[in-house]
Amino acid sequence: MEKTGSLAKRRKRSIAICSFVFLLPVLILLFTFLVYPIVQTFINSFTKWNGISVAKTYNGITNWKKLFGDKDFWRAFLNNVKIMILSLLIQMPIGILLATFLDAGGKKFNFFKVIWFLPLLMSSVAVGYLFHYALATNGGLISSISQLLGGGKVDLLGNQKTAIYAVIAVICWQFIPFYMVYYMAGYSSISEDIYEAAIVDGATRGQYVRKIALPLLVPTIKSAVVMSVTGSLKYFDLVYVMTGGGPGTSTELMATYMYKTSFTTYNMGYGSAIAAGMFILITVIAALIMRLMNSGGED
């Protein structure tokens, strides 16, 4: 009795040690590059610090007070919110439509799939530069189309009113294929039997999609919404290279504002406050959206 008991204990201990050894590299990495930096960012947000000198002076809640009253930050946040809402309204429906089309067509539509997929192969930086030139006043695509149709040149990115919408259009161009693939994954997880049963029962393809497939896709749609929301709130690369936040502050985002404050003007204390504020806003919004969707799904 006693012997087996101690044997079980020893086995348990050896499992615990083995688990710890296997988990160690990942835990070290996550603590060093995620947990510790997040804590450090919050600590830095209470300092005045240029990032270069060793001297950090604590200045209490000065940065946070400034952040609450900072028009530029809230303007940036509003731009992020615009991106978030329009991304949801544009990317989700088009993504579902494209996936539905490919799902209905099967292998025949491989050609469409390949071309539609292309934007996803480009880095955000490359997409940003491409459209920096493709939307330029001189020699840009839209400008050239307008001239072909007899209109004048169009300056989408140089105009404070249109720049943010041009940015959103480019973001949609880049990410619609991602959601297309995402919904294709959703479709492919619906079993073939369900489709066949529906067709045998006399349903048309349209009815199958509306009445059977879409309801089954709801969990997929929900997680796509969460991804799109958190993604929209932390965009950086594309906007930074395409407009640099300009003209003026018309396309400034929280992340570009944080980057410029920290690494262009070397105000790292305030930059940390922006980063921390961004972290809080994203977490709160994501949590709210998840709660909203979960409560909607239960009735």
Burial of 45 (0-12, 13-18, 19+ CB in 10 A): buried
Q: For another protein, give the closer residue by CB, 23 or 89.
A: 23
| Total residues binding another protein (CB under 8 A) | 98
Q: For another protein, give the closer residue by CB, 78 or 130.
A: 130
Q: For another protein, give the closer residue by CB, 123 or 191.
A: 123
Rule CB under 8 A: choose which of 6, 204, 265, 294 binds another protein.
Answer: 204
Burial of 6 (0-12, 13-18, 19+ CB in 10 A): exposed
**Is there a contact between 272 and 41 (Cβ–Cβ < 8 Å)?**
yes
* CB neighbourhood size of 124 (10 A): 19
CB of 9 to another protein, least distance (A): 13
Which residues 6+ apart lie within 8 Å of 278 measured at CB? 233, 234, 254, 255, 258
Binding mask 15-54 for another protein (x = CB under 8 A): xx-xx--xx-xxx-xx-xxxxxxx-xx--x------x---
- Region binding another protein by CB under 8 A among candidate stretches 2-10, 79-87, 95-103, 154-162: 95-103
Rounded distance, CA 60 to CA 81, Å? 29
Q: Which long-range contacts (CB under 8 A, 24 or more apart) does 143-152 make?
A: none
Rounded distance, CA 167 to CA 296, Å? 31
Site for another protein in 233-292 (CB under 8 A): 233-234, 236-237, 241, 255, 258-259, 262-263, 268, 271-272, 275-276, 278-279, 282-283, 286
Site for another protein in 103-142 (CB under 8 A): 104, 109, 112-126, 129-131, 133-134, 136, 138-141
Rule CB under 8 A: choose which of 88, 190, 212, 227 binds another protein.
Answer: 227
CB of 267 to another protein, least distance (A): 11
Binding mask 151-190 for another protein (x = CB under 8 A): ----------------------x---xx--xx-xx--x--
CB of 77 to another protein, least distance (A): 13
**Is there a contact between 80 and 254 (Cβ–Cβ < 8 Å)?**
yes
- Region binding another protein by CB under 8 A among candidate stretches 82-90, 190-198, 232-240, 291-299: 232-240
58: which strand partners? 47
Coil, helix or strand at residue 47: strand
Q: Two tokens at 50? A: 């240029």
Residue at 232: amino acid letter? S
- Region binding another protein by CB under 8 A among candidate stretches 1-9, 13-21, 76-84, 160-168: 13-21
Site for another protein in 62-91 (CB under 8 A): none
